[in-house]
Structure 1
Amino acid sequence: MPTTPSTLDRTTAAERRRALLRITRDVADDLAADALARDHAGRPPTDEVARLREAGLPASLTPPTPERGTDWRTGCAVVRRIASADSSIGEVLARHYVHAWSGRFHASRHHADALEEESVRAQWLWTGAFRGSAPDDDTDGRDLTLRPRDNGHVLNGCRFVDTAVAVADQIVVDARCAVTGDVLTVLIPPGARGVTVEPAHDRLGQRVVGAGEVILDRVTIPPGQVLGRRPDDEESTAPFTTLAEPALRLALSHVGLGIVEGALGEARDLSRGGRAYRLPGTDPDLFLTYGELASAAQTAGAVVDRATEVMARALDTGTRLDDEEAADVSALVATAETVTSKAALHITARVLELADAPGLDRFWRNARVLTAHHPAAHRLRSIGEHYLNGSHRAVAATFH
């Protein structure tokens, strides 16, 4: 009998992994078939999320246990493969997978287990948006504020959410309590009264991610939707909790690699099919160009794979992780993100010189939007300070 999502929970972890990767290939092939048309349309990913749920991917991409979920290495492989076919949906899955770890990063283990079990059962799609805790953060008065009440809190304000704002089942945010000053990590209940969504339109790239602003007007947050309190001081934050943001940046680096692999693969197919500016087999300069681009892609992949392995070990360590280990992981992730961003922008621009085909420009547009808000210079300074001085503060600041 063929393996389907409904039978994954009755198999071993290795069998689940193989089945998940087969399902991922099928979903990626399906998404690739109409990726260009959907990019042109730029609509919210309602249909795409339905495809993901039909394949069981939201339920599979949850933190691992012996009976369910997906380990970090496999989860990133799924994200990367989907992103090579459609980077918008790759980003939706990347953010879903990392935010599905929110219970483990911010809540008690009992609370996390309950959330993860319900997430698998109901095939929740997760997204989220965090401001971070930089002391000089300028909030313009429009950000999220909590006020205590007898049955929990009331949440007001607005926040831009990068993916799936109108179709997610759980939105994870941080918000400051107006009474105590505490910063709490909370889940916005699906379908809650007072939640309004304003989708972002006419984006340059990543047009199918479903980005937009969520506006919250006196939204009730029951106690079960509060995951935990985050210290204002980064140095007081538990080392394992500090992995939340670099884990997201690393998952998005896999999206960047997916863009690179998709761009190179499509350009290669055009060259082989005779739709390139120069024909393969007759132009040594063409071989040189592809050699340069393939080498850049493989270099970025090697750095990201190393960071993925180190992150996986850190996640397995859990609450036993210490400050130094967490800082080393974050520094390596910052390096991987820097290398991948540079490679993605370079490669996706160069492939436009190799072939003439509608839609080839989407890879550059997607890479540009994915990397636009995280300047390399900021990361490089923090990496350098960590390398010279072993500064934990510098690495933490990289991701805020």
Structure 2
Amino acid sequence: MPKTPSVAGHRSTDARRRTLLRTARDVADDLAADAIARDQAGRPPTDEAARLREAGLLAALTPPASDRGTDWRTGCAVVREIAAADSAVGDVLARHYVHAWSGRFYAHPHEAATLEEESVRRQWLWTGAVRTPAPDDDSEGSDLTMRPRSSGYLLNGHRSVDTAVAVADQIVMDAVCQVTGEVLVVRIPAGARGVTVEPAHDRLGQRVAGAGEVFLDGVTVPAGQVLGRRPHDEESTPPFTALAEPALRLALCHVALGVTEGALTEARDLSRGGRAHRLPRTDPDLFLTYGELATVTQAAGAVVDRATEVMAQALDTGARLDADEPAGVAALVAAAETVASKAALHITARVLELSDAPGLDRFWRNARVLTAHRPVAHRLRSIGEHYLYGPDRAAAPAYH
């Protein structure tokens, strides 16, 4: 009996997913082999970006289409696999994947499709730093400003970027138009005239992620590089655009889980190989310790996977997304961030008690850097606000 198109398409998608995950595991094994040496060197991720590009992961981790790209669930699974071997490279890949969605979040669908096709064809590496809309946005004090000119805009200012500042092909940022006051999201090609970067040195962790400062001095931004508007506040943000910020945070949850799983796996291998100072044959409580740590990891993974599934459904819905749905997605992402960051910090510290092997401390250092920007209290407050008031933020009291 001939296969129906839907069944054949489903099997084709499953085969592509399995192939991509096998590729990710191969790349992860390659990265794990010299992870300690690269962490100690702390150089920009030039070699790491080349490895991702040669394996096809940069082209693969773009928004899904009929003949290209990767669905959200698979993309996050790939990020997590890479992050378990080297969380700095996982960070680069996570931000690449989300920023490659920028056309869909901010631009017209036709323009987004054209941009994605070019990104796949040229195997671009994406990075960026788009601020979160807030009611008290100070547009006049923005660190990036744009002034209209006949052929587009002139962009000036500077901004910190967390990954790949020296090796990315496209940098996505938002800037304030000095004439209209609009906040516009733009993409800046690497090597554009007026763009200079200053890599961060001697970071505590995520040393290979390639963080740094981007300086823009009279950079010409043609109209075709303006993706769209970033509304000033959450209330005026289109539902699908509102997914941009929680999507990035959720992708980074998978990086944090990767750190957690990588640390626990490395500690387990040291214990099995008799290279740890706590060994099963002499320390019966070691089973209790590993049981606790494995349970914490699995519980965090379950919460993150739940948020990932809901985010995937929202992204699949696209422009038909209900206005109230992004708030529910963001609440689940906040819960995922909370448990993932707690698990990462707890487990990466505990494994240091199990072994003093060289390089094991990199997991703790990486977890500290990954979780430093959003305190748990902030996330818990947003979860509580959504639990009490749901999507009706106007009913919630304001705090200053």
Which TM class, normalised by the smaller chain length? Answer: over 0.9
Deviations 1:62-81 (A, max 9, x none): 00011100000000000000
Maintained 8 Å contact 2:105/2:240: yes
SS at match of 1:134: coil
* Partner of residue 209, structure 2: 209
Correspondence list, 1:1-400, <5 A: 12-137=12-137, 141=141, 143-391=143-391, 393=393
User: For 1:43 and 1:140, how far apart are their aligned partners in 2?
Assistant: 36
Maintained 8 Å contact 1:304/1:336: yes
C-alpha deviation, 1:142, in angstroms: 6.5
| Structure 2 unaligned blocks of 5 or more | 1-10, 395-400
User: For 2:161 and 2:69, how far apart are their aligned partners in 1?
Assistant: 25
User: For 2:281 and 2:255, how far apart are their aligned partners in 1?
Assistant: 32
Question: Letter of the aligned partner of 2:206 in structure 1?
Answer: Q
User: For 1:134 and 1:106, how far apart are their aligned partners in 2?
Assistant: 17
User: For 2:69 and 2:158, how far apart are their aligned partners in 1?
Assistant: 32
Question: Letter of the aligned partner of 2:293 in structure 1?
Answer: L
Question: Letter of the aligned partner of 2:325 in structure 1?
Answer: E
Maintained 8 Å contact 1:271/1:279: yes
Question: Under a length normalisation based on structure 2, what TM-score does the superposition of the two structures give?
Answer: 0.94
* Partner of residue 4, structure 1: none
Question: Letter of the aligned partner of 2:199 in structure 1?
Answer: P
* Partner of residue 397, structure 1: none
User: For 1:385 and 1:135, how far apart are their aligned partners in 2?
Assistant: 16
* Partner of residue 398, structure 2: none
User: For 1:369 and 1:172, how far apart are their aligned partners in 2?
Assistant: 22
How many matched pairs? 384
SS at match of 1:204: coil
Moved more, 185-194 or 148-157: 185-194
- Quickly say closer, same or farther: Cα 1:158–1:140, change in 2 above 3 A: farther
C-alpha deviation, 1:185, in angstroms: 0.5
Question: Letter of the aligned partner of 1:314 in structure 2?
Answer: A
SS at match of 2:174: strand
Deviations 1:298-319 (A, max 9, x none): 0000000011011000000001
Maintained 8 Å contact 1:327/1:392: no
Question: Letter of the aligned partner of 1:370 in structure 2?
Answer: L
Question: Letter of the aligned partner of 2:380 in structure 1?
Answer: L
* Partner of residue 3, structure 2: none
C-alpha deviation, 1:140, in angstroms: 9.3
User: For 2:304 and 2:290, how far apart are their aligned partners in 1?
Assistant: 21
Identity %: 79
User: For 2:143 and 2:183, how far apart are their aligned partners in 1?
Assistant: 12
User: For 2:221 and 2:103, how far apart are their aligned partners in 1?
Assistant: 16
- Quickly say closer, same or farther: Cα 1:138–1:346, change in 2 above 3 A: farther
Deviations 1:51-101 (A, max 9, x none): 111101000000001110000000000000000000000000000000000
C-alpha deviation, 1:131, in angstroms: 2.2
Deviations 1:219-262 (A, max 9, x none): 00001100101221311110110000100000000000000010
| Structure 1 unaligned blocks of 5 or more | 1-10, 395-400
User: For 1:337 and 1:87, how far apart are their aligned partners in 2?
Assistant: 16
Deviations 1:119-165 (A, max 9, x none): 00000000010222224356895710000000001100001000001
Question: Letter of the aligned partner of 1:263 in structure 2?
Answer: A
Maintained 8 Å contact 1:43/1:208: yes
Question: Letter of the aligned partner of 2:32 in structure 1?
Answer: A
